[in-house]
Structure 1
Amino acid sequence: MTTSVTSQDALQLVVAVHRLVRSLRQSAPMRRLQPTQLLVLAELSSHGPMRIGEIAVRALCSQPTATTVVTGLESSGLVRREADPADGRATIVVLTAAGRETVLSLAHGEAELLSERLSRLSGEERERIRSVTPLLRRLADPEVR
């Protein structure tokens, strides 16, 4: 049996996921980063050093915005710029140890909050959430087929 997904279904999922993430971030004890800053740190943590242009693509922002975000993160000691080993004229942005710790701390804080909320669900509901997690991870990848 094939079940089609309507645009309305997709919209409802997008809204629900955004609301969940937003409520976790607003409730987390460490809220000193803007969403784009956190996204840049997470991308650097997941994919390693990259040029500003790639950061802009991954963070879905303009290159000037990515530059501004990186400058702010750099002044906070969370990233640093280094010469690109592939092209000495270019620079890459590298996550510092403080940046990595910040990403982990924020992620663990949000995970603790989510765990607390999940504990309020029934066992069956928790199992449904666990079973859909790999699918959400796949959908988060723009390359999903």
Structure 2
Amino acid sequence: MRSRLMPLEYYLRTGEVEKVSKDPRTARALIEKAEKRMKFVKSINITDDNASFVFEDIYTIIQECAQCLMMADGYTSKGSHEAAIAFIADKYREFGEKLVADFDRYRKMRNDSIYRDNYVKASVAVEALGIAEEYIRITRLAFNSKV
């Protein structure tokens, strides 16, 4: 595993990201799905017992936001979450370094939660929920300015 994110150009060269036709219909569906998922997640009382599972959905919200903007701009990722983060970092400065770093940190936490014996605490899931809300807000503004 790489210790730091590579620039978007790296993922384009390796084929992990491809330039494709812009797909505003799919992009719209992705942001709408992220908004619906957010509504669902906010209806859950987050506890230490369920935080890891809720966190997976919160991370998915952030990933859907990134995929929305990729599709709107005519890019697709072959499942590389790092490539989606690099796309946001390179193409959407309005997210800022902190939100990009949070996305990458959550990617690692999600992997550790899914593939290792690590659990996410409720306090971390609640923090991530706020970050995901910010991702939806910025994504919606960016997407609406394109259509």
Choose 1 or 2 for highest CA Rg.
1
- Structure whose residues are more often strand by fraction: 1
Higher relative contact order (CA 8 A, sep 6+): 2
TM-score in same-fold range (> 0.5): no
TM-score scaled by length of structure 1: 0.32
